[in-house]
Amino acid sequence: MSVVIPILNETRGLPALEQRLRGVLDSLGRTWEVIFVDDGSTDGTLQALRQLHAGDTRYKAISLSRNFGKEIAVAAGVRFASGDGVIVMDGDLQHPPELVAGFVEKWDEGYDIVYAQRLSRDTDAALHRWSALAFYRIFRLATGTELPDGAGDFRLLDRKAVDVFNRMGERARFNKGLYAWMGFRSIGIPYEVEARSDGQSRWRPRQLLRFALDGLASFTTLPLRIWSYIGLLVGASAFVYTAIFLTKTLIYGVDVPGFPTLVISVMFLAGVQLISLGVIGEYLGRVYEEVKGRPLFIVSETIGTGASEAQTAAHAPERGARSA
């Protein structure tokens, strides 16, 4: 059993997390490892992880060369995990470690993916709650992928799901969407989110908006199709508009003012074209990021994983090949 925990500046919260997690994992009666992914911490987190490993070699760590973001950090940790089952969870104790026992129970029943499904978002700000609800609905409608309400990264993945996950090398990652896209036999376990053990959430509104856009752009081309429909609508409107003015001029002899109509039409069409170019640019930008072929993440140091220097220098899944 492997547990993957991405962390960023969580020095003060590590002791409480380790204590609760150890009690749960020991009670399972299975061989286990915990892989912490240090995503560019600056507060001494890496040194704390070294001390943790020195006390118990089942605690391992990967230090990324810089802050790559939570989605990439999760991908890095999962790629280094060796267990038949891999659990992904946050390191701020908002994901209660005690729920792991329920994950394993459902896994033993034959489920390939067991995810935690939060019952409420009372710990979130009102704007975050409303935007999350809207995003889940829009995502399902736009992509056709069933993303369960309240499902996050806190989950257990069977080894066959892990192997598929490791083969997906997108740079603009939306892991919750990838989990849902994989399919497999899945089940949710309801839970209440706990308050953070230390500090405040580092997610900002602009980051959340970018995350939502990445999620939609990674799973659907609907925004591109929408602008095709808008183009058809504008073209049809222009045809009707022209027919009306021709009728007024040729049949009824009404003098049609030309300059204001021309200015309004040009400005409207220019706005439509610029917005559509912006949407196309978003997709082209993502294509550009993918074809550059840069590593998904870079590991500067490993603690207890047994990986060689060559393996940890850079990780990028080969095109058409299984990831390391």
| Residue 82 within any structural domain of the chain | yes
Q: How much of the chain, in percent, has pLDDT values that exceed 70?
A: 77
Based on the domain organization, do 117 and 83 belong to the same domain?
yes
Based on the domain organization, do 143 and 263 belong to the same domain?
no
Based on the domain organization, do 51 and 103 belong to the same domain?
yes
The pLDDT tens digits of the residues spanning 178-206 come to 888 888 888 888 887 766 555 555 556 66
CB distance 104 to 180 below 8 Å: no
- Answer positive or negative: Cα dihedral of 315, 320, 323, 324: negative
| Residue 215 within any structural domain of the chain | no
| Residue 324 within any structural domain of the chain | no
Lowest mean pLDDT among 16-25, 102-111, 256-265: 256-265
Of the two residues 102 and 316, the one the predictor is more confident about is: 102
CB distance 7 to 60 below 8 Å: no
How many structural domains compose the chain? 2
Based on the domain organization, do 103 and 252 belong to the same domain?
no
Is 70 exceeded by the pLDDT of residue 253?
no
* 203-207: Cβ within 8 A, 24+ apart: 205/127
Based on the domain organization, do 167 and 107 belong to the same domain?
yes
| Residue 209 within any structural domain of the chain | no
List, in order, residues 6 or more apart from 166 with CB less than 8 Å away: 75, 78, 79, 317, 322, 323
Based on the domain organization, do 126 and 170 belong to the same domain?
yes
| Residue 68 within any structural domain of the chain | yes
Compute the average pLDDT of residues 264-286: 75
Based on the domain organization, do 91 and 120 belong to the same domain?
yes
Q: Chain centroid to CA 76: how far?
A: 13
H/E element, 324? none
pTM of the full predicted structure? 0.71
Of the two residues 85 and 212, the one the predictor is more confident about is: 85
| Residue 11 within any structural domain of the chain | yes
Based on the domain organization, do 307 and 236 belong to the same domain?
no
Residue 250 lies in domain: 222-291
Based on the domain organization, do 6 and 48 belong to the same domain?
yes
| Residue 207 within any structural domain of the chain | no
Axis-axis angle for helices 70-80, 159-167 (nearest 10): 120
Q: How much of the chain, in percent, has pLDDT values that exceed 90?
A: 13
320's torsion region: left (phi>0), alpha (psi -120 to 50) or beta?
Answer: left
- Answer positive or negative: Cα dihedral of 224, 165, 202, 117: positive
Based on the domain organization, do 91 and 127 belong to the same domain?
yes
Based on the domain organization, do 102 and 172 belong to the same domain?
yes
Q: What is the pLDDT, as a whole number, of residue 124?
A: 61
DSSP letter (8 states) at residue 127: H
Q: What is the pLDDT, as a whole number, of residue 321?
A: 39
Of the two residues 117 and 220, the one the predictor is more confident about is: 117
The pLDDT tens digits of the residues spanning 62-79 come to 999 888 888 889 999 999
| Residue 278 within any structural domain of the chain | yes
Is 60 exceeded by the pLDDT of residue 313?
no
Is 70 exceeded by the pLDDT of residue 241?
yes
Q: What is the pLDDT, as a whole number, of residue 4?
A: 94
Of the two residues 187 and 264, the one the predictor is more confident about is: 187
CATH number at residue 134: 3.90.550.10
Based on the domain organization, do 177 and 260 belong to the same domain?
no
